[in-house]
Amino acid sequence: MHVRQTIVRGLLAVLFFLAIAVTLAFLVLPIVAIFVHVPLGRLLHELTNPVVTDALIVSLKTVAISQVAILLLGTPTAYFLASRRFRGRPLVVTLVELPIVLPPAVAGIGLIVAFGRFGLLGSTFDFLGINVSFNQAAVVLAISFVAGPFYVRQAIASFEAVDRNLIAASRTLGASAPRTFFKVTLPLARGGLTAGEAICLARGLGEFGATIMFAGSLQGVTQTLPLAVYTTFEAQNGLDVALAISALLVIVSLAILLALKGSGLWERSRPAVTAIAQPEPN
């Protein structure tokens, strides 16, 4: 009886540590592999490849434009949804959040049949002389559609977290609603807004599925960094270039994550309530 118990316990312990080892190795190995598959010097050299520099320019430009659009349009929307209670509000919030869980390919198809040449607004756009398929405007739309909700969702939560008494206090102290927004609400929500924006930026930078369907992958026009990874990988002897771009994206993503953690805006993976039992040291 005693021996069996000891064996079961030993077996459980082995399984426990095996699970941890498999999980960590599985998550870390692909990242490590990107940097060790070819010598580091080669990676750096490949970064000067015109495919890479073109993609970098397209990515920076489209991500920058989409982030500005998301901030300018998403912030007032989030504030409205956070500060008003009306019938149908849960539905509106859910619709705003839907793209977060939607497969990007579905987003791409949706964008095509909404804004594409033969889509819902296609003829309207035609009439206005706007063309949004297979150009940079399409890339911006794809990024905004897929990444924007990450910002709006976080922004709603941040605005809701601002103490309503502080807003009321501001009003009774003579500040109008707009002044209250800029002097009290916005500064107090800023931390959360920044965190949401950083997640949105990371997601936008990595956007692939919706972009390739809606905007295509034309070098120097619509080919963003993630699209360039795919295209160069498909091409003959393109693996090195694909790895170079991937390494660049890993570093940028890591930088965003570290910046978030450093600023304390990243939700730490520990309970808010102080537990009686502290995690064991080492």
Partner 1 sequence: MAKLSASFEVPLRSFALELALEIEGTVALIGPSGAGKTSALSAIAGLTRPASGRIALDGEVWFDAADGVFRKPEERRVGLVFQEYALFPHMSVRQNVAFAGKSRVDEYLERFRISQLADAKPTELSGGERQRVALARALARDPGVLLLDEPLSALDANTKLTVRGELQELLREFGLPTLLVTHDFEDAASLADTLGVLVDGKLRQLGSAQQMVAQPADSFVASFTGANLMRGHARHRADGLTRVELEAGDIVYSTDDAAGLVDVVVYPWDVTVGRERHPDSAMNVIEGEIRSVVHVGNRARVRIGPVTAEVTEASLGRLDLVPGTRVVASFKATGTRLLPHA
Q: Which is nearer to partner 1, 172 or 236 (CB)?
A: 172
* Residues within the interface to partner 1 (CB under 8 A): 163, 165-166, 168-177, 183-184, 187-188
* Least distance to partner 1, CB of residue 93, Å: 24
Q: Which is nearer to partner 1, 49 or 194 (CB)?
A: 194
Q: Which amino acid type is present at position 268?
A: R
Q: Which candidate, 109, 133, 134, places its Cα nearest to that of 222?
A: 134
* Least distance to partner 1, CB of residue 183, Å: 8
* Least distance to partner 1, CB of residue 188, Å: 6
* Least distance to partner 1, CB of residue 72, Å: 23
Contact 154/193 with Cβ under 8 angstroms? Answer: yes
DSSP three-state, residue 6: helix
CA distance 258 to 198: 11
User: Helices (H), strands (E): how many in the chain?
Assistant: 13, 0
Residue holding tokens 């839907």? 98
Q: Which is nearer to partner 1, 109 or 188 (CB)?
A: 188
Q: Which is nearer to partner 1, 126 or 163 (CB)?
A: 163
Is the torsion defined by CA of 88, 91, 97, 98 positive or negative? Answer: negative
